[in-house]
Amino acid sequence: MVGIISYGAYIPLYRMSRDLLTSVWGMPALRPLPGPGGKAVCNWDEDSITMAVEATIDCINGLDRQLIEGLYFASNTPPYREKQSASIVAAAIDLRREQELFTADFIDSVRAGTSAMRAAIDAVKAGSAKRVMITASDCRLPAP
């Protein structure tokens, strides 16, 4: 049977206030952005990999890491063009190394997360893996 056994999330700690966003976008003070709060923004050292690591740590809290047989990373904003991000996430969260762990990146598509989920479901149904972890993370990159 295929299903979700755990999930995790990570949202950056820093916030940009709605007042600041309104002034930067040049909106008049009479028309502030609706609703309370602000926008979550990444710290200078956060990217889609570091956020994926934090979310996967939250996800596997209490689970046996050695049972995970695959890790798929989905993102529109991977920090590397040629390096595989999924293998970096797997190493950072200390997934098994003595046995084969299949890692794959699903990138540069608005359907990256959906494609990763579909590939994981197909892998479990086909019997090539029993547990596959999927992490989807995006980080808007500011202008230099």
pLDDT digits (tens, 9 = 90+) for 38-79: 788 888 889 999 999 999 999 998 899 999 999 999 999 999
The second-level CATH assignment, the architecture, of 45-136 is 3-Layer(aba) Sandwich (3.40)
Stretch (H or E) spanning 68: none
Annotated domain spans of the chain: 45-136
pTM for the predicted model, two decimal places: 0.85
Stretch (H or E) spanning 59: helix 48-59
Give the distance, in angstroms, between the CA of residue 136 and the centroid of all CA atoms in the same chain: 3
DSSP one-letter code for 142:
P
Number of other residues whose CB lies within 10 A of the CB of residue 120: 21
Q: What is the pLDDT of residue 70?
A: 95
Q: What is the pLDDT of residues 1-37, one digit of tens each?
A: 799 999 999 999 988 887 777 777 776 555 555 667 7
* Measured distance between the N- and C-terminal CA atoms of the chain, rounded to whole angstroms: 47
Question: What dihedral angle (degrees, nearest 10) is formed by the CA atoms of 122, 124, 128, 134?
Answer: 80
Q: What is the pLDDT of residues 78-129, one digit of tens each?
A: 999 899 999 999 999 999 776 789 999 999 899 999 999 999 999 999 999 9
